[in-house]
Amino acid sequence: MRKILLLFVVALFISCEKKEKKHRLPHLIDKKAKNVIQVNSKVMLASKSRFLAYNFKKDVGVPYAFLHLKEMTSFDFFSLYDILPKYELEIIVDTSYSFAADRYEYKRIPHWRWGDDQSFESYSNAVGKIRNQYVNSYPVLIRNGGREVALFEAFHPFPIIQEALDTDGIWKPIEFVEPRVMGCIPGTAAYLLMPGTYMATSVIRYQGDFKTKIRVKIQNGRSNYYSNEVTGYINRSQFNQDFIYEYLKDFRALRELYFEGQKDLMFLNPVDPSYWDSKEQQ
């Protein structure tokens, strides 16, 4: 009887182990950084997330030292924004393990301008010290569940923000993307995500006194994609958007006539082309 019971326990353990391996998501293997920063921000921050790995199905070390050219393609026009279709993408925030990433700006950093007392070199060094710090993060996986190759325009930073559920039951942004500065040379590039494979990025895992639901929002072309919801902590002051006008002005990107449209773009809300035309006619 004992032998039968023992065999049953062993068989159950093997079965559970196989099931766990089958359903376990690929993990991002980081550098196990020391002195990882816990971000407790009182203000909304600019998202500085970047692509970390591409076209993988198993655990992968991050970040890639470089991007293989075979994982990219180029185009002879400025943007794919109005061209990319809606893909079958699954966005997954994985909370099953600890992860740390660098290259964030986990503080609100004023923009450097010609004539500032601080030299550009000094400013760059100060920003670099912040961005070289490792921050407690959520790994984010993007899975191509379709049968066609998915294209992602090669923006940096990646167009991804976090949203949180406020007390009124409405999802609101707690991050923004900076206005995109167009290059002088025509052309753009895109990452290629093969069917059935994953692409990886990450977002800050905030601390705070307000417990709520959090999700990730990604924009690709005119399409928005949302992740699973996770329980997290933020500060409700991160919802505050009153700074946007002065931020754009300081960034030298403010266009008074199009302010509301600019703000929508910062929160990854698609803006209909007719909006810009209608404003020009006013």
Give me the pLDDT at residue 181, please: 57
What does the alpha-carbon distance between residue 266 and residue 27 come to, in Å, rounded to a whole number? 30
Give me the pLDDT at residue 72, please: 58
Task: Give the chain's length.
Answer: 282
pTM of the model: 0.85
Q: Are 56 and 194 in contact (CB under 8 A)?
A: no
Q: Which two tokens stand for residue 204?
A: 């800050």
Give me the pLDDT at residue 282, please: 63
DSSP state, residue 111? P
* Strand 60-61 relative to strand 175-176, pairing: unpaired
What does the alpha-carbon distance between residue 41 and residue 205 come to, in Å, rounded to a whole number? 11
Give me the pLDDT at residue 4, please: 57
Give me the pLDDT at residue 255, please: 85
Distances (CA, A) of 15 to 6, 32, 207: 14, 31, 38
- Which amino acid is located at 230 in the chain? V
What does the alpha-carbon distance between residue 38 and residue 20 come to, in Å, rounded to a whole number? 30
Measure the CA angle with vertex 90, ends 88 and 95; round to 5°: 175
For residue 126, give the 3-state DSSP assignment: helix
Q: What is the pLDDT along the chain (282 residues), one digit of tens a residue?
A: 555 555 544 445 554 444 444 558 999 998 788 899 999 999 999 999 988 998 999 999 986 544 554 565 655 455 677 789 999 999 999 999 989 999 999 998 877 777 777 788 888 898 899 999 999 999 999 999 999 999 998 766 689 999 999 999 999 999 999 887 544 444 567 889 999 999 999 999 999 999 999 999 999 988 999 999 999 999 999 999 999 999 998 887 888 888 999 999 999 998 887 776 676 666
Task: Locate the domains of the chain by residue range.
Answer: 23-239
What does the alpha-carbon distance between residue 72 and residue 21 come to, in Å, rounded to a whole number? 31
